[in-house]
C-alpha cells in the first residue's frame, strides 16, 4: 500500500475511495463526521451508505434510523446520488455470521440458544469492533452477490483508545472462538499429554470454583457446539483484515481540539502507523472561532485597562476566543505533524448544535 | 451545605458521563475542592492512561498510586492521591487470590481470562467495584472519587453487581456482588454524579442515563454537573462602536466588527446553553453544580483551582435535604 501523497484532499477520498473508516476516541463527533462524509458522497452523485454505531437520538431520527433493522435504509434528500444509513446491531450481525458458517440448522440453534454465546456480544471486548468490520465486509462483498451496490461505505467505529484494538479484533475473536476448552475437559488422561491435561483440568476446575460450575458448563457446551466452524471464521477474519488494508480503504482520524483528546488522537495515529495503516485525513471538530488576528495577551491587557466599562468586556471576550483558538492551533500542530502529509480539515464550533440534514450540510461546507 | 459535610468521611462519589463531556476534569475538580475543604481524597481511575495527573501539574502518565497534591501545608489543604484499577488487573489479582497464582500468566496468554469474563459478564466490573469498597472500608481517604467508564458503559458497570448475583448464585463472586450492591444502594455512603455539557445531545443522554441508573441500579444520584458554561460579561450587549465612544477610546479599522462578532457569538451560545440548562432542570429534578468554560484547551493546576472554587461555591449553595440520605 502506498502512503498518502498529500495531494489527496478529503473531498478526493470521498469521491474516489470505496471505504472510509472514521476512527478516534469517544465524544469527538465521529458519528456526525461519518454522516457528513456519506452525505457529501451522495451530493457528488455516488451511492453512499453510512454505518453508525451509536448515533444520538435526533441524528438517528434525521437519518431515519428509528427502527433497528441492521440493514441499510434509504434517506430521501435532494442529491444526485443516493444516501443510506444503518445502525450496527452487534448481536444480530454475529447471529448472521453464525448462521452463514453453521453446517446445519441444528448447529446454528444450539449456538444461538447457548447462554455463553448470548453473553459474547455484550461482554467480550472487541466484539463490537469486529462486528463493525464484519458488516463493512458484508456490505462491500454485497456488490459481488448483487445484494448491495454501494460505491462508498462510510463506517463509524466504536470509541477505542487503542487503534490496534479494532485492527486486531478479528484475529482476537477467532482465537477466542478457537479455544478448545471442552477438549481439555474431556481429554483422556493418558499418554504423553497426560501431564498437560491434568494441569489444564485443574486450571478449569479452579476457575469453576470461583465463578461457579454452571457458567463453565455453558462455556464448554458453547465450544462443543462451535466445533468445526473455526476455520470458516478464520478465513473470514483474514478477508476482513485484507479489506481494511486495501488501497480503496481510507482511514480518517477524527478528533476534537482539546489537549487531552489531541494527545489520544496522536497515540491513535501512531498505533495505526505501527499496524501499517496511514491516516489519510484528519478532521478536527468544534474548533473555536477566532475573530481577530493578534495576540490574546495584548487584547487582554487592553481589556484590563478598560475594566468596568462595556468596551473592556468586549475586549475581554475577544481575548478569550483569541486565546483558546491559538492554544487549539498549537496542539493541533503536533497532531498534524504526526499524520503528515494527510490534510487537516477544521470544522468550527458552530452556532447551534447539529442534529438534522441541514446541520450536516452546514458542516459539509467545511469538509471541502 | 458545608463542603466539609459534603465531602464527608468515607464517602464514595462516582463520576459518570459520556465521552467528551469532561468527566475526568470534574473528577479532578471535585478532588481539588475536597482538598481545599480540608478533606483528603483518593481518585480511582479505571481506564488506564488519562490526562488527570497533568491537571495537577504532574507529568506522569501511567501509575499505580500517585500523590497529586500534598496536604498538610499552611493553607490547610488536604492530600489528593490517585490510583488506577484496570478491570483486567483486578480480575487477574482476584483469580490469583483464589488459588490460581501459579498460572496467572497463562490466564492471559491462553485467552482464559476472556472466557471467564464472557462466562460471567460483569465480573471485571464487580472486581473493580469490590476493590473500591475495600479502599473505602480501609478508610484510604476521607472521600473516594471514582472516574467511571464512559457513556453507556457506566450503566453496565454499575449494573454488574445485580447481573452477577443472578448469573452466579453461590461462591465468592456472589458474595462480592452482594457486598458491592450494598454499597451502591447505601445513599449516604455512595452517590453518582452525572456530568454533561449544556448541549442538546449530552443533556438528552444524561436524562436517559439518570433514569436507567435509578431504575436498574437503585443508586443514589447526587447533583448533576454541567460543565463548560460560558460566563457572561455585562458589557457584551453593547455595540462596540458605542461602547468605545462612551469610554472615549478609538478603535482600529475592522476592530468594531471583530468585537461585535465575538460578542454576538458568545451571547448566542450563552442563550443556547441557558435553554439546555432549563430543559435539564425540567426533565431531571436534581440540584446542579456548574463549571465554567475556561477558554483554554488544556487544564493545568491554575485552571483546576478555578474549577474547584466554582465547585465549592456550588456545593455551598446545595440544599442539605436534597443531597443527603433518604431525602434524595
Cβ of B296 within 8 Å of Cβ of A323? The answer is yes
For A184-198, B150-164, B282-296, which range has the lowest pLDDT when averaged over its residues? A184-198
Min Cα–Cα distance to chain A from B195, Å: 13
For residues A280 and B48, give the distance between their C-alpha atoms in angstroms, rounded to a whole number.
28
Cross-chain Cβ contact A120/B118 below 8 Å? yes
Q: Cβ contacts (< 8 Å) between A120 and chain B: which residues?
A: 118
The confidence score (pLDDT) of residue A1 equals 44
Beta-sheet strands, E only, within chain B: 11-16, 41-45, 65-69, 80-84, 143-147, 190-196, 224-229, 288-292
pLDDT in tens, A327-358: 999 999 999 999 999 999 999 988 777 777 88
Q: Which of residues 291-310 of B touch A (CB under 8 A)?
A: 295-299
Least reliable range by pLDDT among A120-134, B184-198, B238-252: A120-134
Higher pLDDT, B212 or B27: B27
* pLDDT at residue number A197: 65
Whether residue B270 lies within 8 A of chain A, CB to CB, comes out as no
Q: How many CA atoms lie within 13 A of B190 on its CB side?
A: 19
Residue B26 exposure: Cα atoms within 13 Å on the Cβ side: 30
| B18 or A108, greater pLDDT | A108
- Measured in whole angstroms, the distance separating CA B80 from the mean position of its chain's CA atoms is 15
Instruction: Dump the DSSP string for A70-92.
Output: SS-EEE--S-SSEEEEEE--HHH
The three cell numbers of residue A96 are: 448472521
pLDDT tens for each residue of B41-77:
999 998 766 788 989 998 765 667 888 888 888 888 9
Among B285, B322, B311, B292, smallest CA distance to B210 is for B285
Q: Report percent pLDDT > 70 for chain A.
A: 89
pLDDT at A190 over 60: no
What local confidence, expressed as pLDDT, does residue B323 receive? 46
CB contact under 8 A, A317 and B266: yes
Burial group, residue A264, by CB count within 10 angstroms (0-12, 13-18, 19+): buried
Residue A67: its pLDDT value, please?
Answer: 62
User: A10-177+230-291+328-364 is classed in which CATH architecture?
Assistant: 3-Layer(aba) Sandwich (3.40)
* B20-46 burial: b if 16+ Cβ within 10 Å, else e: bbbbbbbbbbbbbbbbbbebbbbbbbb
Mean pLDDT (whole number) for B191-212: 91
According to DSSP, the residues that pair with B81 across neighbouring strands are B42, B67
Closest CA to B188 of B72, B80, B47, B328: B328
pLDDT at residue A3, rounded to an integer? 47
pLDDT at A110 over 90: yes
- Report how far residue B291's alpha carbon sits from residue B6's, in angstroms, rounded to the nearest whole number: 17
Global pTM?
Answer: 0.89
Q: Is A362 on the interface with B (CB under 8 A)?
A: no
Q: Is A26 on the interface with B (CB under 8 A)?
A: yes
Report ipTM for this prediction.
0.89
Q: Which residues in chain A have Cβ-Cβ distances shorter than 8 Å to B150?
A: 26-27, 159
Q: How confident is the model at residue A2 (pLDDT cuts 50, 70, 90)?
A: very low
B59 touches chain A (CB under 8 A): no
A-chain residues near B243 (CB < 8 A): 309-311, 314
Q: Considering only the top CATH level, what class is B3-231+285-323? A: alpha beta
Residues 145-184 in B contacting A (C-alpha not used; CB under 8 Å): 150-152, 156, 167-174
> What is the pLDDT averaged over residues A279-304?
95
**Minimum CA–CA partner of A257 in chain B:** B297
State which residue of chain A sits closest to B253, comparing Cα positions. Answer: A292
- Between residues 108 and 127 of chain B, which touch chain A (CB distance below 8 Å)? 110-112, 114-123
Of A43 and A161, the structure prediction assigns the larger pLDDT to A43
Q: What residue segments make up the domains of chain A, in order of their start? A: 10-177+230-291+328-364, 181-226
> Is 90 exceeded by the pLDDT of residue A106?
yes
pLDDT in tens, A247-271: 999 999 999 998 888 888 998 899 8
Looking at A99-113, A190-204, B37-51, which range is the least confident one?
A190-204
**Residue bearing the bigger pLDDT, A287 or B325:** A287
Q: What percent of chain A has pLDDT over 90?
A: 46
B118–A119 CB contact, under 8 Å: yes
Q: What interhelical angle do A90-101 and A115-123 show, nearest 10?
A: 130
The domains of chain B are located at 3-231+285-323
The per-residue pLDDT for A263 is 86
Q: What is the mean pLDDT of chain B?
A: 87
Q: What is the mean pLDDT of residues B25-53?
A: 91
**Chain A hits for B205, Cβ within 8 Å:** 56
Contact B18 A26 (CB under 8 A): yes
pLDDT given at position A275: 85
Nearest CA to A233 among A89, A134, A141?
A: A134
How confident is residue B326, by pLDDT bands cut at 50, 70 and 90? very low
Pick B18's closest partner by Cβ from A27, A116, A214.
A27
B76 CA: distance to closest CA in chain A (Å): 31
Kindly state whether B99 is in contact with chain A, defined as any CB-CB distance less than 8 angstroms: yes
Distance (Å, rounded) from C-alpha B201 to C-alpha B196? 9
- Beta-carbon contacts below 8 Å between A and B: 208
CB B298 within 8 A of CB B25: no
**Quick one: average pLDDT of A20-46?**
92
Q: Of B170, B201, B240, which is closest to A353 when you measure between CB atoms?
A: B201
Rounded to 10 degrees, the C-alpha dihedral A99/A103/A105/A111 comes to -60
- Among A23, A26, A27, A355, pick the best mutation site for testing chain B contact (most B Cβ within 10 A): A27
Q: Which of A306, A326, A291, A309 is nearest to B264 (CA)?
A: A291
Q: What is the CA radius of gyration of chain B?
A: 22
Measured between beta carbons, which residues in chain A are less than 8 angstroms from residue B121? 119, 122-123
Angle, CA of B311, B315 and B317, to the nearest 5°: 120
CB contact under 8 A, A218 and B114: no
Which of A123, A311, A321 faces B243 most closely, judged by CB atoms?
A311
Share of chain B above pLDDT 70, in %: 92
Q: B84, B103, B109, B118: best mutation site toward chain A, by most A Cβ within 10 Å?
A: B118
pLDDT tens sequence across B307-317: 999 999 999 99
Amino acid at each position: 500500500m502506498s502512503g498518502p501523497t498529500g495531494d489527496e484532499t478529503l473531498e478526493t477520498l470521498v469521491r474516489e475511495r470505496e471505504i472510509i473508516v472514521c476512527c478516534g476516541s469517544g465524544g469527538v463527533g465521529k458519528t456526525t463526521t461519518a454522516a457528513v462524509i456519506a452525505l457529501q458522497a451522495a451530493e457528488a452523485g455516488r451511492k453512499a451508505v453510512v454505518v453508525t454505531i451509536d448515533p444520538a437520538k435526533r441524528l438517528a431520527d434525521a437519518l431515519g434510523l428509528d427502527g433497528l433493522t441492521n440493514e441499510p435504509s434509504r434517506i430521501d434528500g435532494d442529491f444526485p446520488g443516493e444516501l443510506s444509513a444503518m445502525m450496527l446491531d452487534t448481536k444480530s450481525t454475529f447471529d448472521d455470521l453464525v448462521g452463514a458458517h453453521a453446517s446445519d440448522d441444528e448447529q446454528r440453534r444450539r449456538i444461538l440458544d447457548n447462554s455463553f454465546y448470548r453473553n459474547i456480544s455484550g461482554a467480550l471486548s472487541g466484539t463490537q469492533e469486529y462486528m463493525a468490520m464484519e458488516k463493512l465486509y458484508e456490505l462491500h462483498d454485497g456488490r459481488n452477490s448483487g445484494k448491495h451496490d454501494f460505491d462508498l461505505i462510510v463506517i463509524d467505529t466504536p470509541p477505542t483508545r487503542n487503534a490496534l484494538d479494532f485492527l486486531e479484533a478479528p484475529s482476537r475473536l477467532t482465537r477466542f472462538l478457537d479455544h478448545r476448552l471442552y477438549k481439555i475437559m474431556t481429554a483422556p488422561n493418558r499418554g504423553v499429554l497426560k501431564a498437560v491435561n491434568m494441569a489444564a483440568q485443574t486450571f478449569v476446575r479452579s476457575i469453576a470454583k470461583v465463578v461457579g460450575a454452571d457458567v463453565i458448563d455453558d462455556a464448554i457446551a458453547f465450544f462443543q457446539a462451535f466445533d468445526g466452524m473455526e476455520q470458516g471464521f478464520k478465513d473470514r477474519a483474514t478477508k476482513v483484515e485484507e479489506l481494511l488494508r486495501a488501497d480503496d480503504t481510507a482511514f480518517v482520524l477524527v478528533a476534537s481540539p482539546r489537549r487531552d483528546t489531541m494527545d489520544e488522537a496522536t497515540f491513535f495515529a501512531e498505533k495505526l502507523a505501527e499496524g501499517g495503516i496511514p491516516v489519510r485525513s484528519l478532521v478536527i471538530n468544534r474548533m473555536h472561532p477566532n475573530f481577530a488576528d493578534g495576540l490574546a495577551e495584548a487584547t487582554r491587557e487592553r481589556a484590563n485597562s478598560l475594566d468596568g466599562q462595556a468596551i473592556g468586556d468586549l475586549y475581554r471576550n475577544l481575548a478569550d476566543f483569541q486565546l483558546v483558538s491559538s492554544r487549539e492551533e498549537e496542539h493541533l500542530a503536533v497532531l498534524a505533524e504526526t499524520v503528515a502529509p494527510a490534510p487537516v480539515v477544521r470544522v468550527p464550533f458552530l452556532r447551534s448544535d447539529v442534529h438534522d440534514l441541514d446541520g450536516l450540510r452546514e458542516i459539509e461546507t467545511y469538509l471541502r | 451545605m458545608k463542603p466539609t459535610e459534603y465531602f464527608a468521611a468515607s464517602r464514595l462519589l462516582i463520576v459518570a458521563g459520556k465521552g467528551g463531556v469532561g468527566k475526568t476534569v470534574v473528577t479532578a475538580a471535585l478532588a481539588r475542592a475536597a482538598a481545599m475543604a480540608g478533606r483528603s481524597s483518593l481518585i480511582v481511575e479505571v481506564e488506564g492512561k488519562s490526562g488527570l495527573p497533568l491537571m495537577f501539574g504532574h507529568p506522569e502518565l501511567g501509575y499505580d498510586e500517585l500523590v497529586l497534591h500534598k496536604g498538610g501545608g499552611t493553607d490547610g489543604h488536604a492530600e489528593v492521591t490517585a490510583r488506577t484499577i484496570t478491570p483486567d488487573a483486578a480480575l487477574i489479582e482476584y483469580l490469583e487470590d483464589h488459588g490460581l497464582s501459579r498460572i496467572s500468566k497463562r490466564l492471559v496468554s491462553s485467552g482464559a481470562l476472556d472466557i471467564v469474563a464472557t462466562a460471567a459478564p460483569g465480573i471485571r466490573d464487580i472486581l473493580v467495584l469490590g476493590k473500591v469498597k475495600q479502599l473505602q472500608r480501609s478508610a484510604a481517604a476521607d472521600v473516594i472519587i471514582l472516574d467511571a467508564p464512559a457513556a453507556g458503559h457506566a450503566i453496565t458497570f454499575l449494573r454488574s453487581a445485580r447481573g452477577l448475583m443472578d448469573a452466579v448464585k453461590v461462591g465468592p463472586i456472589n458474595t462480592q456482588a452482594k457486598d458491592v450492591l450494598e454499597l451502591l444502594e447505601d445513599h449516604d455512603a455512595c452517590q453518582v454524579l452525572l456530568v454533561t455539557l449544556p448541549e442538546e445531545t449530552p443533556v438528552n443522554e444524561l436524562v436517559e442515563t439518570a433514569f436507567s441508573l435509578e431504575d436498574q441500579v437503585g443508586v443514589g444520584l447526587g447533583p448533576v454537573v454541567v460543565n463548560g458554561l460560558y460566563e457572561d460579561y455585562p458589557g457584551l450587549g453593547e455595540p462596540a462602536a458605542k461602547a468605545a465612544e462612551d469610554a472615549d477610546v478609538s478603535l482600529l479599522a475592522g476592530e468594531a466588527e471583530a468585537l461585535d462578532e465575538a460578542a454576538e457569538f458568545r451571547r448566542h451560545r450563552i442563550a443556547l446553553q441557558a435553554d439546555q440548562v432549563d430543559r435539564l432542570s425540567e426533565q431531571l429534578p436534581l440540584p446542579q453544580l456548574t463549571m465554567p468554560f475556561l477558554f483554554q484547551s488544556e487544564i493545568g493546576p491554575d485552571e483546576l483551582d478555578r474549577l474547584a472554587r466554582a465547585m465549592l461555591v456550588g456545593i455551598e449553595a446545595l440544599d442539605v435535604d436534597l443531597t443527603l440520605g433518604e431525602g434524595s
